[in-house]
Structure 1
Amino acid sequence: MEIWFKEFESHGRQILVKKVCEVDEQKVGVQYCWPEKIFDVDFGLWIDYDDDDEESFNEAEEARNKLFDTIDQEAVDTAVSNLIQKLKLDD
């Protein structure tokens, strides 16, 4: 069974990391999501593909899956910490 999301706890937040596919925009990616007090954080890394080329889609999907598989607690902690600092979410 393919895994489509992972859940982490980082910096007092519950983080969802998920595989995504935006067919209309011809891209696949990995998104980090979590709720803050007044808004939801939702950001990710995207890989474009050519909708007319099945091999392009397969390569993008494979790259997305490899990226997703590398995401661990340390990667989440680093990404979340950097975003918290940039957005000043703990002020």
Structure 2
Amino acid sequence: MIIIAGQLRVDAADRDAYLTGCAKVVEQARAAAGCLDFALSADALEPDRINVYERWETDEDLARFRGAGPEPEQAAQIRDAEVHKYRISGVEAP
């Protein structure tokens, strides 16, 4: 299993519009083969932060969906990003 997690930074005044613009991508990801979860969400404390969480079955599933990355208009709005890929070998109940 692959987890992609981290944060994006956009101008606080643009965050809601950015997330609205991502709705179709979230829908497409959740419908994609191998996607177990996909979420982009507004942070509760920091007005310029967007939380990223994705869970995929395999690297191939992720690569097939990801393609070239965000659209140029969306990429231009990102001021900073700290997103990492984690390879999970097992899952346990909390």
Greater relative contact order (Cα < 8 A, sep 6+): 2
Task: Say whether the fold is shared (TM-score over 0.5).
Answer: no
Normalised TM-score (structure 2): 0.29
- What's the TM-score, normalizing by structure 1? 0.29
Which protein is bigger by CA-based radius of gyration? 1
